[in-house]
Structure 1
Amino acid sequence: MQTIADIYAAQPYWIWLAVGVILLAIEAAFTTEWLLWPAVAAGVVAVLTAVGLDFGPGFELAVFSLITVVLTLVARRFVQRVNPAAAPDVNDRESRLVGQQARVVQPFENGRGRVFVSGAEWQAEMAAGDAPVGDYVTVTAAEGSVLKVATGAGA
């Protein structure tokens, strides 16, 4: 512990730089988006101490905390605008198909057939109606690997 205190007394920016790098490494390993902003704040405090602003560890900790809170709040607002929670998951292919037009490739018999949508053929179920091969239907839901489709409604 004395070694860290000696390093801090001589060149405090190395301690803040180390804290920032450690936080950034943990963030890179776990991708939580929560440790990125404290890492940036530690980097800012490291730069402030490197240019000669030496107010002591208490003040530096307060600046670090303030910058962390401000960056986290600003980033949270920005991330919500860029990546809204209501948007479908990019990895959930089935839910992204809902609302798309699908071309019938196998006629529906007893409410079951096949459609082509988003570059692949899918099993499909239609509650009512009939759609011959070549017609377009609208995907209304996805249950596993079976799409629920309907005629009309923009089809």
Structure 2
Amino acid sequence: MIDAMWIWGAIGLLLLAVEISTGTVYVLWFGISALCVALATWIFPNMPPAVQFAVFAALSIGSLAIWKLNYKKTETHSRVGQAQGEEIGRTGTVIESVNPNQNGKISFVQGLMGSREWVAVSNESIEVGSQAKVVAVEGNALRIIKI
């Protein structure tokens, strides 16, 4: 019969492997908890299975709750490979007119976030050929104002 320590150790390593492959951070706490139970069963080899499961559940839920309470997401939107705010303030030329009811297009001399042309939205009407400045990024579109 396999010792409980080895079973909990294998479960912990398996959960950590799942965490590495998914990168969610949620499974991490379950894997660490299983490894802690493996350590506890090594120190106390006669620990009943019910106590082992109770310790695992308490450690898993407790560590997950503590992490969730203290975790602060630093950025609400992720643009991989882009400096935050790099596009704000850039000027371009409107190539399709834009108004509050219809999206248009703006073009830049030098590419912005990997492209020279972007969908543009605005609270004002801006005609083709006008110069406009980027004031915000809204999803896949740039909010612009006439300059």
The TM-score bracket by the shorter chain reads 0.5 to 0.7
Partner of 2:73: 82
CA RMSD of aligned residues (A): 3.6
Native 8 Å contact 2:132 2:144 kept in 1: no
Q: Which residue of 2 aligns with 1:150?
A: 145
Query: Offset of 1:139 from its aligned partner?
Result: 3.0
Radius of gyration: which is bigger?
Answer: 1
Is contact 2:95–2:107 with CA below 8 Å preserved after alignment? yes
Between the two proteins, the alignment pairs up a number of residues equal to 134
CA change 1:42–1:141 in 2 (3 A) is closer
The amino acid that maps onto 1:16 is W
Aligned to 1:73: 65
1:121 Cα deviation after fit: 3.0
Task: Write the distance in 1 (CA, Å) between the matches of 2:50 and 2:11.
Answer: 16
Sequence identity, in percent? 19
In the superposition, the TM-score normalised over structure 2's length comes to 0.65
TM-score normalized by structure 1? 0.63
Aligned pair partner of 1:49 in 38, 41, 59: 41
Cα deviations by residue, 1:88-130 (Å, 9 ceiling, x for unpaired): 1335x7xx769811123x4768556523545753346564468
Q: Which amino acid aligns with 1:82?
A: K
Kept in 2: contact 1:113–1:123 (CA 8 A)? yes
Note if 1:139 corresponds to 2:135.
Answer: yes
Q: How does 1:87-102 map to 2 (within 5 A)?
A: 87-91=76-80, 100-102=88-90
Q: What 5-or-longer segments of structure 2 have no aligned partner?
A: 99-104
Give the C-alpha shift of residue 38 in structure 1.
1.1
Q: 1:40 to 1:110 in 2, by over 3 A?
A: closer
Aligned-partner Cα distance in 1 for 2:97–2:79: 33
| Aligned match for 2:107, one of 92, 114, 127 | 114
- The residue type paired with residue 59 of structure 2 is I
2:101: which partner in 1? none
Specify the SS of the correspondent of 1:64: helix
More helix as a share of residues:
1
Question: 1:139–1:121: structure 2 CA closer, same or farther, 3 Å change rule?
Answer: farther
Q: CA deviation at 1:59?
A: 1.0
User: How far off is 1:138 after superposition?
Assistant: 2.9
* Contact 1:129/1:151, CA 8 A, preserved across alignment: yes
Unpaired runs of 5+ in structure 1?
1-5
- Cα deviation, 1:6-45, whole Å, max 9, x if unaligned, reads 223xxx3111101111222222333343321111001111
Give yes or no for contact 2:8–2:35 (8 Å, CA) kept in 1: yes
